[in-house]
Amino acid sequence: MLKAINKGIEGLGRWAEFSIRVFKTFTSKGVSSTSLVEQMYHVGVRSLPITIVSGLFVGAILAIQINLQLKDFGAQTFLGGLSTSTTLRNLGPVLIAFLLSGRVGAFTSAELGTMAITDQLNAIRCLGMDPVEKIVVPRLVALTCSSFLLLILGLGMTVVGGVVISSAHLGVNPIQFSQNISLFVSSWSIGIGVVKSFLFGLMIGTISCFFGYHTAGGARGVGRAVKRTSVATLVSIILMDFLVSTALESLKTFFEIMANS
């Protein structure tokens, strides 16, 4: 048990060291616009269908589940506000980040891992260039930006999914659905969703690049890297969601106390 804990702490330290190195490289040398656009196409544009479909179904599922509770109390008029608030603040970003981590995170980890075991990264070093600058930074920036934008799009689609399922199946028309959204969804709620989306995108990017870059052991090593990327990303998203929710709610309470004092 102690050995596993030490190994986990060591891995966390190596990830932090790698992330700092990538950040320093990015701030000092920037990123190639051509490589950035190419990588954003690979990890972003190609992920649009799964983001749109998953966002629609996540919104629909949450609307159905919340409607079951509200229906017992005759409070279906609040369905739009409650489902939208729950989606934007908590479940929406987490569920869509899970799907994206499997799509873009695993892809990036496998791609970098293949480059590592086939000595492509060593070839770049032999040419006198830094593989972190030429290979990792464009992928990390593209992955973070694409994941953030896809999460925002996915959150928007969750609202659309809630509206569609409510009007088609739950007997709540779109006008009635949207009337109470402003009562439950504030700029703070939207801000929480945006902050979580950015942090989730950053976690997906740094973790997948870290495990892919440090792949060793041939084809089996690529498989291990993808598996570790998937597990670490899912756990990190859950932990990050808890920490961000706790911190932002505490911050909101502090501001409210200061405003009333």
Encode pLDDT of 117-153 as tens digits: 988 888 888 888 888 888 888 888 888 888 888 888 8
User: Which residue, 149, 218, 209, 172, is CA-closest to 78?
Assistant: 172
DSSP state letter for 28: H
User: Which residue, 34, 33, 25, 216, is CA-closest to 121?
Assistant: 216
Q: Which of 71-75, 85-89, 121-125 has the lowest mean pLDDT?
A: 71-75
DSSP 54-92: HHHHHHHHHHHHHHHHHHHTT-GGGHHHHHHHHIIIIIH
Q: What is the pTM of this model?
A: 0.84
C-alpha 190/C-alpha 198 separation (Å) is 13
**Per this entry, what is the length of the chain?**
261
- Enumerate the domain spans of the chain: 2-260
User: Which residue, 6, 12, 227, is CA-closest to 101?
Assistant: 227
Residues sharing a CB contact under 8 Å with residue 193, sequence separation 6 or more, in sequence order: 88, 89, 92, 93, 152, 155
Question: What is the per-residue pLDDT across 198-251, written as a single tens digit (0 to 9) for each?
Answer: 888 888 889 998 999 998 888 888 989 999 998 899 899 999 888 988 888 888
State residue 211's pLDDT score: 92
Q: How confident is the model at residue 177 (pLDDT cuts 50, 70, 90)?
A: confident
